[in-house]
Structure 1
Amino acid sequence: MNTTPDRTSPTSSVLVLDGGDRRCVQILLELRPLTVHAAPGTVIHVHTTDPAAPLDLPAWCHLTGHTYRGPVHIGPTGSTASPAYALQVAEDAVATDPGHPWRAARSPHPEPTAPEEPTAHASRPTHRAEQPGRSAHPWRRHPAQRRLHAMTDAAASHTPITVYSRPGCPYCYLLRRGLRRRGLTFTEINIWTDPEAAAAVRSVADGNETVPTVHVAERWLVNPKAATVDQLARG
């Protein structure tokens, strides 16, 4: 008999989210409000058959600050119940976007300030260096131009990179961010909309659609670190 308290019970110390065979992107949309309204320290058991759950749930907990407690066994030995994974609600969790819970919530934009009143010297011609957007040394590149040229040079100095991903994957987001910080350019393919890409990922990931999977320098990497991709791309 399953002794896990039902999530609708007011005295439950463990909440249960039955994800069934839904993908993790949908499960995160249901899990987010559950963690928002649960008391700190509450344990949540997520039941799901999605093979990506052992990767996506720890990544989401890392993003939000909740504690991932790993897979749990519920029910008698030999039970056919779907796998369950436990996490514990943190008191100071990072807020996430309600519509995209795999992204941190953006802070509201500050209110625009009223323009300052013109002064008595407003009609005075300004020196070239004082004009907005103009440099006192026009023969020098603006810092933004230097960064752009540096990124362009970096992109031209590494072998092509192809990243296979899917929407809502936290690990894909972390890899993309890491590659961009290193000045690497890449081609991204959504395996949910490209059957051939999904088949390619399964062929190198033991039959699973594990993402991110990267093809670089004639090698396939399953869930790699950005530093590893960088080393191979520039090797």
Structure 2
Amino acid sequence: MSGRAFLSELVASSEGIEDLTHRHISYTLFQLLCKVARFRTTGLVHGNICPENVAISRDGTLELLEEYAKPSKLSYKAPEVLLEMPVTSEADIWSIGVVFGEMMNRKAFFQTAEDRLRQWTTVVETLGSPNPRFYNKVPLHIFTEIVRVPRASGKSPYELLPFDKCSAKGDKAPLTFMNAVDLLGQMLVIDPDERITAEEALQHPYVNFWLGYHWQCK
């Protein structure tokens, strides 16, 4: 990778993807979470976090495009965005979770649907139906649409990612597959009120490894 490359290019490259370690993924995640934590303090939401808007330099330093960011696909949009609910920085956490899952899975985590309702159906079929209390927060005109979506049990993150596809080069605890899947499960929670925050995620063992090496959020 000369200069910098977008994460979408790295994931699409068989050569690059084979070399991805938990160290690479954890550091990428750490930097994204730092940026969302900064947005959160100012009340901002990026809204378009996706591999096409994440550039990574040769040394692993990450740049999240803001001013010239491309609109992200529906597959990266949080449930509250799909369902026209109030949006907070937790929507960015969902998007990071989808990117995280894609890096772990070596392919798209959710298939991109034609419209928001079909994308919501994909989320429910993959992760399962949310707690019934969640539907009380959905605008009535949207609820009348999604109420037709059959309830589903879905799969846990451990079922969606049954084995570790990462290269083991240089990886050690706490940068483990089990810690990665645990954090992913807390990020991809349908109800934003129950989803992990950026600050909480930065304290997770899979990510706070970097704080232990005296790295600070920038």
What TM-score does the superposition give when structure 2 sets the normalisation length?
Answer: 0.24
The structure having more radius of gyration, on CA atoms, is 1
Question: Which structure's residues are more often strand, by fraction?
Answer: 1
